[in-house]
Structure 1
Amino acid sequence: MCTTYIATEVIKAIQNKGFDVIGYPRLVRLNPNIPWKTRGNGAIAIQFGKGGGKIKKIGDVDGTIYSFSTKISDGEIEEIKEEVDSIISSLAEMDDPKTHPGVVFFKRKPPYFIYKKGVKEILSLKEVKKVIATMDASFLSYKKGRGLIGATAAVAWHPRDKTYEVLTYRNGGERWVNEESVKEMDRECPHTFDNYDYENRHIQIMPHSPCPILYGIRGDDVEELKKAMNMVSSSKVKRWMLFETNQGTDEHLKKRKVEEVRPYESVIVKGIVWEEPRTIEGGHVIFSIKNEKEIECAAYEPTKNFRKIVQKLVRGDEVVVYGGVRKEPLTINLEKIDVCKLAKVYKKRENPLCKRCGKHMKSIGKGKGYRCEKCGKKAREEEAVIEKVEREIKEGWYEVPVVARRHLAKPLKRMGIT
């Protein structure tokens, strides 16, 4: 069962118990490269207690869900804990080998490094349990309890950059979303992103898994997200909820030199194209960059026409690559690329003319120069007539298409680059 759906049940239970949701519930994505992660590697954080200040409508789960801007007093953990245990036990897919739920009830925030390590590196269950014990936090753990890692990291998140997502849920029946309504919404709601892939004609807001989510719209403006939701024509929405998220922020990335790149991280690496792009079996495009040391970069088949951009790179181009690191072979899986400076490319237009005979000379062999077949006069390699080649790629930013974009990857749209 989808983690966010379980979160809506928990939020409903919190409100039914007489407590308030403080701020927005948070959907926090963690390191996308972890081999044992769940599909989206997301975790939820919900602050509850007795609320005050401004009231906002943040969802509808069998009735309106409100949140408050400030917390007047803490909620009683034990009153909620039993309810949460019941919800998870009944809804979590415990038979799934990758499902190992965990819930932590913190009275104060865990240290920020927990989130930072969870989104950029490998955060161990041992480290998290130590923090939980130090902070005397109550928790629920199921099976191997790996969910405690995400839960703790989600609470530890201090947003430096953030986005929002409105998630809608279906009524258990057919899932359908009208394509034209999504395109219209995309045009009319400029602060949303990753709604539709025009090149590949793909509705990105609609998942294709059997989960209860109908669609989810991401953006920077909460009110615009509500407008966007009302513009989408779809099968019946049973419930909806607004989440504050770290999606589309690039918070998973860290700057690295080539020699510092480690498996399962997401990196930003500057270098010069060394081995020119080649296409391997499966349609994947591979090239290497060098900055003292060399590393391969890949545009895999799911990145579609992004591969055509990569294929236009040549040795000597200066680039900055962004992406997750595969372990074997050590490869950067490209999310986007900044082509900083293009190398100059020249091609031979014609062989040199013999000054005696006025005829074009013939090549003696690669790198050996030229010889006139009539009189035998020789010319150096550089005496051939060459011309500069107009490159088919321009300096600037390029990103994978919407259909291949990761949850955490910041779209160029959010970077102010079009």
Structure 2
Amino acid sequence: MGWLGLDDTDGLGGGCTTHTMHRIITTLENECSENDWVVSPRPSLVRLWPFARRRTRGNAAVAVEITCNSESSRLALCARLDELWNEIVVPDFERNGTAITSEHSEREQSEASPAMLWSPARPDQEWYWRCVKGEVELADCEAVIPPGSRLWQCAGGHGLIGALAAVSWLGEHDHTWEVTCYRMDENISLKRRIPESRCIILDEKFPETILNRDPTISKSLIAPRTPCPVLFGIRAEDGDAAIGAAKWIFESADCEPISGWQLWKTNQATDDHITTISKSIVTSPISVKKHGHAAFTTDCGTDIVAFSQGGEVNRMAQSLRQGDEIEYSGLCAPDGSTHVEKMRLISYSDKRRRRPLCNCGKRMKSMGNGQGIRCPDCGERRPDSWDDELAIESPFALGQWVEPSASNRRHLAAPLGRRGGQYSKTKHGNYEMLGNHG
């Protein structure tokens, strides 16, 4: 038994690491009987820390378990992996790995730096948690590589970080599934042909699928917008549901032919990247930046940023007042700020409230801390109290969680509806949504 991990083979100009691994898996599956090895039908697709400096387009690494039933089988596999590295991985890197300027980000892009790992044992899964929650350096890998492993690296081999992470991920605490369907080579430069009529009713026909459509803008989310070999991907809580939904689409006469498909066990929609849920008091006025991003500071000294693309999260942030108590989950950025991904309002600030009316019709005022309230006209006094009606209303109910629309969430972000909108703290210090999953 052993594990094959791969990462960092593609670039903005094309390619896809999942496609590279799919071709390797398909080749090895076709050679199983003559070589006495067995390839797992459930390879892993793992998204890593969204702020990693050398992150790729989807920031995903992949791995698959392979069982060799004899020593001769193991030796034959290692020899075959040598060949596949040169026949599949290196050509994919040379064709697609050049760094080009992004149309959507000012971040400096890195050239692909592929690495492939064959390991007879899994590294401790703490390596995965390090890679999904923070920056990891290539030099850190040396202490994690299991004895007896084989490495293939090119152009620096930074993909070793992700390859090790994908191999070490177990997904026992939480996981989802994705079926990725791949295009014929001759179609990659052409517009994708996917039956929109089936995409519209996908969630209704296959209720265990998730994150495949954004109902707020009536937009399908299954197809990428880049010139990569992926035609579409279907995500689901259950692997069989993902397979059934994908087949229902690609078997349609209105869908372009595919070269193959792959089922992946994934960490998508798990919130594994989130380190904490925090309760805080808003202590600064809300600052609305260029492009509509909202920013404010809390009593914990944390700078909170809610990007305009966050939709309801941004709208809630802009509606906050100093003194409001909030609860939020988010991602700590390299500059120390927290990019909020989910938020709710717990209690209103006194700045939203007003004193009750006196019997004479005037609004009462405070006489000072702990001294009650008094009418400025007739002098009537009462114990400290507030009017039931807010002077400054909030468009959001107390306790109501909000999140970005489906088309503006990270791959790792767990939708509120996935498990009923409740959170539970895990052993790794992050919070995840409660409920059942496949």
TM range (shorter): 0.7 to 0.9
Correspondence for 1:283: 292
Correspondence for 1:210: 227
SS in 2 for 1:302: helix
Matches within 5 A, 1:132-151: 132=145, 135-151=147-163
Q: For residues 361 and 14 of structure 1, do their structure 2 counterparts lie closer, same or farther at Cα, with a shift above 3 Å needed? A: closer
1:180 and 1:35 map into 2 onto residues whose CA distance is 39
> How many corresponding residue pairs?
375
Judge conservation of contact 2:45–2:63 (CA < 8 Å) in 1.
Answer: yes
SS in 2 for 1:175: coil
Q: Provide, for residues 243-271 of structure 1, a one-character-per-residue CA deviation record: whole Å limited to 9, x for no partner.
A: 1111111112223xxxxxxxxxxxx3232
SS in 1 for 2:167: helix
Q: For residues 381 and 214 of structure 1, do their structure 2 counterparts lie closer, same or farther at Cα, with a shift above 3 Å needed? A: farther
SS in 2 for 1:88: helix
Query: One-letter code of the match for 1:203?
Result: S
Judge conservation of contact 2:62–2:166 (CA < 8 Å) in 1.
Answer: yes
Query: One-letter code of the match for 2:215?
Result: Y
How many Å apart are 1:301 and its aligned residue? 1.7
1:384 and 1:396 map into 2 onto residues whose CA distance is 26
Q: For residues 408 and 370 of structure 1, do their structure 2 counterparts lie closer, same or farther at Cα, with a shift above 3 Å needed? A: same
Structure 1 unaligned blocks of 5 or more: 52-72, 256-267
Q: Provide, for residues 350-407 of structure 1, a one-character-per-residue CA deviation record: whole Å limited to 9, x for no partner.
A: 9868xxxx796999xxx9x9866xxxx8789999995522644331322111011111
Structure number having the greater strand percentage = 1
Q: For residues 273 and 99 of structure 1, do their structure 2 counterparts lie closer, same or farther at Cα, with a shift above 3 Å needed? A: same
Structure 2 unaligned blocks of 5 or more: 1-14, 100-109, 423-438
1:102 and 1:144 map into 2 onto residues whose CA distance is 8
CA RMSD of aligned residues (A): 3.4
Correspondence for 2:347: 342
Query: One-letter code of the match for 1:213?
Result: V
Kindly indicate whether residue 175 of structure 2 is the aligned counterpart of residue 162 of structure 1.
Answer: yes
SS in 2 for 1:209: coil
Correspondence for 1:58: none
Q: For residues 102 and 273 of structure 1, do their structure 2 counterparts lie closer, same or farther at Cα, with a shift above 3 Å needed? A: same
Kindly indicate whether residue 270 of structure 2 is the aligned counterpart of residue 269 of structure 1.
Answer: no
Kindly indicate whether residue 407 of structure 2 is the aligned counterpart of residue 394 of structure 1.
Answer: no
Query: One-letter code of the match for 1:207?
Result: P
Q: Provide, for residues 178-236 of structure 1, a one-character-per-residue CA deviation record: whole Å limited to 9, x for no partner.
A: 33321201122221111111112322111111111111111111111122113335333
Correspondence for 1:315: 322
Q: For residues 271 and 14 of structure 1, do their structure 2 counterparts lie closer, same or farther at Cα, with a shift above 3 Å needed? A: same
2:415 and 2:139 map into 1 onto residues whose CA distance is 34
SS in 1 for 2:301: strand
Q: Provide, for residues 302-336 of structure 1, a one-character-per-residue CA deviation record: whole Å limited to 9, x for no partner.
A: 223432233333334333321222233x3211211
Judge conservation of contact 2:355–2:363 (CA < 8 Å) in 1.
Answer: no
2:343 and 2:196 map into 1 onto residues whose CA distance is 30
2:236 and 2:363 map into 1 onto residues whose CA distance is 64
1:198 and 1:138 map into 2 onto residues whose CA distance is 46
1:398 and 1:327 map into 2 onto residues whose CA distance is 24
Query: One-letter code of the match for 1:99?
Result: A
How many Å apart are 1:413 and its aligned residue? 2.4
How many Å apart are 1:146 and its aligned residue? 0.6
Judge conservation of contact 2:344–2:401 (CA < 8 Å) in 1.
Answer: yes
Kindly indicate whether residue 112 of structure 2 is the aligned counterpart of residue 112 of structure 1.
Answer: no
How many Å apart are 1:81 and its aligned residue? 2.3
SS in 2 for 1:155: helix
Normalized against structure 1, the TM-score is what? 0.79
Matches within 5 A, 1:289-368: 289-290=298-299, 293-328=300-335, 330-339=336-345, 341-343=346-348, 346-348=352-354
Kindly indicate whether residue 91 of structure 2 is the aligned counterpart of residue 90 of structure 1.
Answer: yes
